[in-house]
């Protein structure tokens, strides 16, 4: 189940506009019409067999059909055979990229319906299926990243995931803030080659750390947490301190030999159903798509400073630091959801309360009284904070286009240098 995947992807029905905007060229486009009358959790043995064989079904719907895209060999960002060496990835962040770290760290059991769409069991991911980092690993044809704290059967030969749900850049030295994640990495960095020399397996050697890709996706919790008790002006004043922590993290990894960095900015905070349902506001506070302007404005202030940091470090380090504009991708998904085959993007699939957001702070997903939609693939939001697998796969399709990256390089650049 956690093995590498092949090159068959399922995406929303592409139009000429969406194909051009994604930057993809397709060698083949196969339309596979399937019966969508049953909920996703009722998938049969054939779907499981495909997953065991390594095929990836992105499971996005367009009307009642699934489009299966056989990716052209002209797309090296999705073809692992284009890598000149084994891809190794180390990830740092929060629940947006946590593949089970919080669960194993605290002994928390995230059962179904989390994980129902792809894994058919809870895996510690706060989604119905795969996360952005999972799809990116599939694009490299490498296994999903094991959480660093996983003690039962981890495989660290292709890297490790230090991301933990709830993490932020500040305060420092608090489990599992960004600086703590970097400290964990540095310990892993020092021990892994030594243990390999003693006969241990499923670890990373010295060259692997130098050639690896270091992905960072953090900041959402810093902003969300501060808006819980501070006004907009003070939150914005504190953003440079968040950015400084990211600078220190990148420098710490760089000084240990890391040279390839992939940095995601933060998404449209003001479009999260949780924020919309729990933040007092009137119509004048929302934009034309129903998102809270001041929260999105703060996210964009953070993003501009993060982009400036990446530009500065790129010139200082003389190595690869790629900045990815995830905000624009996600906001496009929300504002043009119907074009991409989604329904109301501000409604939660797994929650309670009904329209307009189906979010109840006292009855969230997995708590007694929650309800869950039949087809998560028609929803953007899984639980009010985290995206569905379908939404995550859309985001990845745009990331891999290179149209949202600065500089515009393929995701597999680091394993071809």
Q: Annotated active-site positions, please?
A: 95, 383, 386
Alpha-carbon span 297 to 331, nearest angstrom: 12
Alpha-carbon span 31 to 384, nearest angstrom: 32
Alpha-carbon span 231 to 233, nearest angstrom: 6
Residue carrying the six token digits 């399922």: 10
Sign (positive or negative) of CA dihedral 268, 271, 272, 277: positive
State how far the alpha carbon of 270 is from the alpha carbons of 28, 185, 339, in Å. 38, 32, 21
Radius of gyration of the chain (CA): 20
Confirm if 88 and 17 have CB atoms less than 8 A apart. Answer: no
Confirm if 306 and 386 have CB atoms less than 8 A apart. Answer: no
Q: Exposed, middle or buried, 252 (CB in 10 Å: 0-12/13-18/19+)? A: middle
Q: Exposed, middle or buried, 145 (CB in 10 Å: 0-12/13-18/19+)? A: buried
- Number of separate helices (H) and strands (E) present in the chain: 12, 11
DSSP string, 187-205: HHHHHHHHHHHTT--S---
State how far the alpha carbon of 309 is from the alpha carbons of 1, 122, 242, 246, 313, in Å. 38, 37, 11, 9, 6
User: Shortest CA distance to 158 belongs to which of 233, 217, 83?
Assistant: 83
User: Shortest CA distance to 309 belongs to which of 239, 204, 366, 364?
Assistant: 239
Tell me if residue 111 falls in helix, strand or coil: coil
Residue carrying the six token digits 């060259």: 207
- The DSSP call for residue 411 is G
Which residues fall within 8 angstroms of residue 380, CB to CB, at 6 or more apart? 333, 334, 337, 342, 345, 346, 387, 388, 390, 391
| H-assigned helices in 279-409 | 293-317, 326-335, 389-399
């Amino acid at each position: 189940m956690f093995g590498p995947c092949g090159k068959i992807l399922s995406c929303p029905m592409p139009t000429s506009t969406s194909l051009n905007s994604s930057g993809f060229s397709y060698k083949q486009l196969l339309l596979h019409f399937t019966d969508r009358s049953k909920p996703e959790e009722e998938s049969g043995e054939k779907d499981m067999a495909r997953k065991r064989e390594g095929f990836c079904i992105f499971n996005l719907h367009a009307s009642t059909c699934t489009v299966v895209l056989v990716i052209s060999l002209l797309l090296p960002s999705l073809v692992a055979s284009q890598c000149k060496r084994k891809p190794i990835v180390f990830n740092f962040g929060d629940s947006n990229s946590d593949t089970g770290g919080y669960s194993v760290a605290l002994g928390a059991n995230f059962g179904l319906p989390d994980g129902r769409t792809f894994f058919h069991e809870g895996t510690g991911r706060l989604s119905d299926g795969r996360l952005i980092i999972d799809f990116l690993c599939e694009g490299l044809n490498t296994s999903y990243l094991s959480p660093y704290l996983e003690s039962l059967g981890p495989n660290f030969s292709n890297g490790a995931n230090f991301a933990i749900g709830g993490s932020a850049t500040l305060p420092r030295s608090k489990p599992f803030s960004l600086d703590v994640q970097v400290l964990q990495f540095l310990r892993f960095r020092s021990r892994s080659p030594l243990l390999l020399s003693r006969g241990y397996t499923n670890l990373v050697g010295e060259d692997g750390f130098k050639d690896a890709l270091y992905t960072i996706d953090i900041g959402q919790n810093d902003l969300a947490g501060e808006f819980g008790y501070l006004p907009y002006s003070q939150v914005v004043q504190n953003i440079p301190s968040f950015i400084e922590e990211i600078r220190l993290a990148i420098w710490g990894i760089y000084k240990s030999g890391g040279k390839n960095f992939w940095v995601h900015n933060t998404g449209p905070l003001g479009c999260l159903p949780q924020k919309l349902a729990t933040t007092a506001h009137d119509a004048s506070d929302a934009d034309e798509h129903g998102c809270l302007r001041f929260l999105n404005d703060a996210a964009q202030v953070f993003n501009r400073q993060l982009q400036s940091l990446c530009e500065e470090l790129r010139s200082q380090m003389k190595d690869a630091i790629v900045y990815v504009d995830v905000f624009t991708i996600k906001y496009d998904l929300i504002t043009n959801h119907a074009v991409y085959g989604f329904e109301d993007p501000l409604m939660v699939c797994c929650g309670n309360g009904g329209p307009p957001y189906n979010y109840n702070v006292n009855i969230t997903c997995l708590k007694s009284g929650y309800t869950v939609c039949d087809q998560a693939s028609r929803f953007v939001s899984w639980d009010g904070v985290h995206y569905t697998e379908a939404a995550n796969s859309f985001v990845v399709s745009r990331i891999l286009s290179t149209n949202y990256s600065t500089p515009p390089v393929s995701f597999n650049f680091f394993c071809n240098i």
